[in-house]
Amino acid sequence: MKLHLKSPVIDTPSASTTSLKTCISRNFEDDDCSWRDSPQKVKVKENSRSPEVVQSFPTDGILQSIDGALSTNAQRHETTMEIFMQSVIPFLLAGLGSISAGLLLSYAHQNFKLLREVSLFLAIMPPLQGMKGNLDMTFCSRLSTMAHKGDFARPGHCEVLLRNIALIQGQSVFVCLVADAISYAVSQLQKDEVSASSEDFLFLGCAAVIAMAINCGISTCSLVLLIMHAWRKGYDPDNIVTPLAASFGDLLTVAVMLLVCYIIRPYTAFSVAVPIVILCFAVSTTFGWMSFAWKDEGAALVGRQQWITLLVAASISCVAGYLQSHAARKFPNYPAYQTLISGQTGNRCAVHASRISSYLSLNNRSELPLKKRMSPYGYYTSCNYITSIFTGYESATARLLLLCAVPFQLIFVGVSFCVSTLISQPTESSYKFFFGYALAVFCHMSIMLFMTQGLVNMLWWLGLDPDVHAIPLLTAFADVLGGISLYTLFFVVNHFWEGSVVYKKPT
């Protein structure tokens, strides 16, 4: 028979009373009750046509069952070893993607006539890569949080995914136009160093919207499949998919952008009306993508909130773009290392931000006290080094990401050196440069990981969704700080140990 709880008489503490409220109005099968002999009782009325019968029903068993169910659904701490094993291959693949993107960009800059004709190309690529990576990583972060909450098991999740993909397509047009406009504005302020015409501005804007449309179609569908597969296999998508999103997005962005530029260059050179028509068509399609995405409440909320964040992040990334276009004239291999150091740091910060955001969404509280978060030393040493091998606390994850950064980067630099040697491209081979590069990576990563936890928790405290706002800002700051660190390294090594880096005197 089915029993309906009515007017429970409880002598337990208020915390237990609160837990019991969650089961009011639920049905319990009498045959399933395994707590008959519990000492505490609740008065229950049988709902039937027979005369009213009042029975004694135990509460201790109910409370234990509810607490057990809640603890089962709570987020389980992964061990540091689990995090490492799940993320090591994605980080290696992501590093190869960053290497490929950097080498391709560096090779194109030194050998392709088109890039010498359109000097704005190198200036637009960092904000374009950064913004595309931001869209992909925030997309992955939102979907990972949905997976943690169990939203993929609910009906209608496919429609939600499609509307989020439409949101990314619409935002990509906005990102392209903003990156192109800011890069052009910066170039006009530096006419003595970078010459850019309005035709170049229209040409690159046209190429960017076409390349991003193709890029988004490929990357978003691939990321959805990867996240769904990881979720079904019981892996944490935060550890696996987020590192891959930006790096392979960088490679795809550079490759598709170069391809589109070469295809449409003859047509845009024929008439200035061609890029204008393409840009107008791209802007008009944005309204269609957005109207479709706006029918999902979550996608609409992200779309309304993220515009300013993307605009600020694009503006910050353009500083890295200007720095790259300036440094590449003196140090031809600078673009290869810029993509690697900024991309890998951004990846690790995105993983860290996504994990912290998922924890906050599930637990509604921070894992560490404010005092620990305010001090870099306190943050990185908040749990014992020995016990951190077996616990998945936030600080242990931060240490893992930090300590693995330098070995991974040196592996990638070694691969880059081998590839450059095989294609007979001059590259850095001095141990002084590599030692300085390792030091720059460690300092850059330690600053960015500490900044990550502070920014994510501050956004959460302000009532803003970290999945939406944190990653674009973090990757933009990673681009700028990485570019400054790398340029300083090249300048110092070339100044004190001339010949240790490939140097080309500007003309």
- What are 415-427's pLDDT values in tens digits? 888 877 776 677 7
| Predicted local confidence at residue 250, as pLDDT | 78
- Give tens-digit pLDDT for 31-47: 444 333 444 444 444 44
Taking the CA atoms of 148, 151, 154 and 156 in sequence, report the sign of the dihedral they define: negative
pLDDT per residue as tens digits for the range 460-469 = 888 888 878 8
**Token couple for 378:** 């306190």
Predicted confidence at residue 447, as pLDDT, reads: 93
Please report which confidence band the pLDDT of residue 182 belongs to, taking 50, 70 and 90 as the band edges. confident
- The Cα 114–Cα 121 span in angstroms is 9
pLDDT at 383: 60
Long-range contacts at 200-203 (CB < 8 A, ≥ 24 apart): 200/118, 200/119, 200/120, 201/120, 202/268, 202/272, 202/275, 202/276, 202/279, 203/118, 203/261, 203/264, 203/265, 203/268, 203/275
pLDDT of residue 23: 41
* pLDDT beyond 60 at 331: yes
The predicted structure's pLDDT at residue 123: 76
What pLDDT was estimated at residue 237? 79
What residue spans define the domains of the chain? 2-72, 75-496
Range 39-44 contact pairs with CB under 8 angstroms and sequence separation of 24 or more: 40/10, 40/11, 40/12, 41/9, 42/5, 42/8, 42/9, 42/10, 43/6, 43/7, 43/8, 43/9, 44/3, 44/4, 44/5, 44/6
Q: Is the pTM of this model over 0.75?
A: no
Mean pLDDT of 177-196: 69
| Spatial CA neighbour of 468 closest among 272, 301, 252 | 301
- Residues whose CB is less than 8 angstroms from the CB of residue 297 and which lie 6 or more positions away in sequence, other chains included: none
Note the pLDDT tens digit of each residue in 67-106.
444 444 444 556 667 767 777 777 777 777 777 887 888 7
110-167 pLDDT per residue, tens: 788 887 778 778 778 877 877 787 788 778 878 887 887 788 778 888 888 888 889 8
pLDDT for position 79: 66
Q: How many CB atoms lie within 10 A of CB 481?
A: 19
Q: Who contacts 155 (Cβ-Cβ below 8 Å, separation ≥6)? A: none
Question: Are residues 271 and 124 in contact, defined by beta-carbon separation less than 8 angstroms?
Answer: no
pLDDT of residue 215: 87
> Residue range 163-174: average pLDDT?
87
pLDDT band at 507 (very low <50, low <70, confident <90, very high): low
Closest C-alpha to 98, from 419, 322, 401, 434: 419
Give residue 358's pLDDT.
78
Q: Pick left, alpha or beta for residue 150 (phi over 0 → left; psi -120 to 50 → alpha; otherwise beta).
A: left
How confident is residue 191, by pLDDT bands cut at 50, 70 and 90? low
